[in-house]
Amino acid sequence: MSLPGKLSIAVHKMDVPQLAAGPTKPGANIHFLDIHMKSIRQVFYVLDILGLQPPQYCQCLVRRVEPVAFVPVQRLEQQSHSPPVCGVAAVLEASEVILPSTFCFLPVMSDVAVERVARRNLIHKVTWDSGGYIVKQGVGPEGSRSLANEAAVYRWLATHGDSDLGRYFAGFVAYDTERDALTVELVGNAENLRDYHIGVGHFSITLGRALGNALGALHSSSSPTREQPNGFADIPPWILSLHRPDLNMLGHASSANIELIKTVQQVPELGEYLDALRGSWVPTTLIHNDMRWDNCVVYGKRGSGRRTRLKLIDLELAQLGDPLWDVGCALSDYLSLWVTSIPMTGEAPPDHFTRLSRYPLHRMQPAIRALWRAYLRRAELDSTRATPALHTATRYAAARLIHTAFERTQLTTYLAGTVICMLQLSLNIFDQTADAAAELFGIPGETTGPL
């Protein structure tokens, strides 16, 4: 992969809320962005990781100087670079940089852009006309461990699984242990599955099928009949122990989190169901372990406006586990969107609320069925195992609903009606699993009555 011979560095949204106008030379196509002084070090750190070598005097960018100062910047030259992390080695384009006492104005042109993405770790998106990369840097010991784990997963996927496995994951580029930086290919012109569903207002059967195939491909890469990966964790999801919180969980919980834990503890059946899932947890394959629509990016063929393809991202928490946990989490996102789209005013009974849902279940069920059937085929689950697997995935979906309720209360002081509804729905699913699979997910099976 190569870049044009003449490039400039563009820096977007680096801790600064707005653009700032700056001087331009006659005929120059230059824009200026407001960059906080603390971010300049991050900018050049990312450029250095990608093999973009800044000149020695770039250190002046992090000094406090007078409001008007001009610093020459050298012209970009394409060179060979080994290892080819970005496929380009360069220095900054000739131009002018103004350094006020509080903010730095960095010249911006259109060829290369570096944009910070707010996620768990320090993440930058680097783009140019023909492609891009995501550069992740670990923050603190926990961030470093999760990043090393994600790099190990990418390496495993690169050497195991079927030939089409790579179509469901971003391309692995490099992992720099010294810099604690992971670089993967950027999926261009993409958005996450949650934003896509909300944006278009319908639930694609094609993308449901793609998600089922992606999960099946991931789980098949390390199935019991194949070589097992080493060095990965295999612990049950923490939400299965919510009713038995430890000091660490309580120390980071909000007041609403505490109320939610108390509510779960007041329903002994919920605790028993969670204990049963935890007790039956058998780590058999490599799983994503943070499966949610936010971690699925959807995109289309080059030049097409339709998004029909899907990749799984953010493998930081991947580990050995029960593959049906991933499937249950994917199914649960349909339920949580349904519940959160139900208006709750306290002026009508709950049964009336469900009829007013913005995203009714009957519109989701074709995509849910496509997901499940694709997963069965890709994971090679025969008819004798399909029904037990469906019931296990459905119970995991109930547990994930509790997880979602917990996340929704992390920044609140009370339990909203939506959260209570999620807990009640979770209990209903546990109580009547077969009925839930049939009536909520629209997957036919034996039932004992209405849910």
Whole-angstrom distance, CA of residue 42 vs CA of residue 78: 23
Confidence band for 46, pLDDT divided at 50, 70 and 90: low
Compute the average pLDDT of residues 303-313.
Answer: 87
pLDDT tens digit string along 327-377?
999 999 999 999 999 987 655 556 667 778 899 999 999 999 999 999 999
Mind spelling out the 3-state secondary structure of the chain? Answer: CCCCCCCCEEEECCCCCCECCCCCCCCCCCEEEEEEHHHHHHHHHHHHHCCECCCHHHHHHHCCCCCCCEEECCCCCCCCCCCCCCCCCECCCCCEEECCCCEEEEEECCCEEEEEEECCCEEEEEEECCEEEEEEECCHHHHHHHHHHHHHHHHHHHHCCCCCHHHHECCEEEEECCCCEEEEECCCCCEEHHHHHHHHCCCCHHHHHHHHHHHHHHHHCCCCCCCCCCCCCCCCCHHHHCCCCCHHHHHCCCHHHHHHHHHHHCCHHHHHHHHHHHHCCCCCEEECCCCCHHHEEEECCCCCCCCCEEEECCCCCCEEECHHHHHHHHHHHHHHHHHHCCCCCCCCCHHHHHHCCCCCHHHHHHHHHHHHHHHHHHCCCCHHHHHHHHHHHHHHHHHHHHHHHHHHCCCCCCCCHHHHHHHHHHHHHHHCHHHHHHHCCCCCCCCCCCC
Residue among 99, 97, 51, 44 at smallest CA distance from 74 = 97
> What does the pLDDT read at residue 19?
24
φ/ψ (deg, to 5) at 293 = -60, -30
Would you say 331 and 397 are in contact if contact means Cβ atoms under 8 Å apart? yes
pLDDT tens digit string along 249-280?
898 899 999 999 999 999 999 999 999 999 99
Tally of CB atoms within 10 A around 23:
12
> What does the pLDDT read at residue 113?
66
Would you say residue 96 has pLDDT above 70?
Answer: no
Would you say 65 and 42 are in contact if contact means Cβ atoms under 8 Å apart? no
> What does the pLDDT read at residue 112?
59
Domains of the chain from N-terminus onward: 9-114 (no CATH), 191-439 (3.90.1200.10)
Q: Cβ neighbours of residue 237 under 8 Å, at least 6 residues apart?
A: 289, 321, 325, 399, 403
Determine which of 218-222, 263-267, 284-288 has the lowest per-residue pLDDT on average.
218-222
Structure token digits, residue 145: 């461990």
Would you say 202 and 167 are in contact if contact means Cβ atoms under 8 Å apart? no
Q: What mean pLDDT value characterizes the chain?
A: 76
Confidence band for 120, pLDDT divided at 50, 70 and 90: low
Would you say residue 70 has pLDDT above 80?
Answer: no
For residue 313, give the amino acid letter: I
Task: Tell me which residue has tokens 């994600």.
Answer: 150
Would you say residue 30 has pLDDT above 50?
Answer: no
Would you say 375 and 308 are in contact if contact means Cβ atoms under 8 Å apart? no
pLDDT tens digit string along 5-26?
233 333 333 332 222 332 223 3
Count of alpha carbons within 13 angstroms of residue 90, beta-carbon side: 23
Whole-angstrom distance, CA of residue 255 vs CA of residue 410: 8
Instruction: Give this prediction's pTM.
Output: 0.79
Peptide bond into 83 cis (omega under 30): yes
pLDDT tens digit string along 389-412?
999 999 999 999 999 999 999 988
CA 81 vs CA 92, 130, 164, 174, 175: distances in Å: 16, 19, 30, 14, 16
Would you say 88 and 2 are in contact if contact means Cβ atoms under 8 Å apart? yes
Whole-angstrom distance, CA of residue 424 vs CA of residue 294: 24
Confidence band for 229, pLDDT divided at 50, 70 and 90: confident
Compute the average pLDDT of residues 282-289.
Answer: 96
Would you say residue 81 has pLDDT above 70?
Answer: no
Would you say residue 184 has pLDDT above 80?
Answer: yes
> What does the pLDDT read at residue 403?
98
For residue 321, give the amino acid letter: G
Confidence band for 131, pLDDT divided at 50, 70 and 90: confident
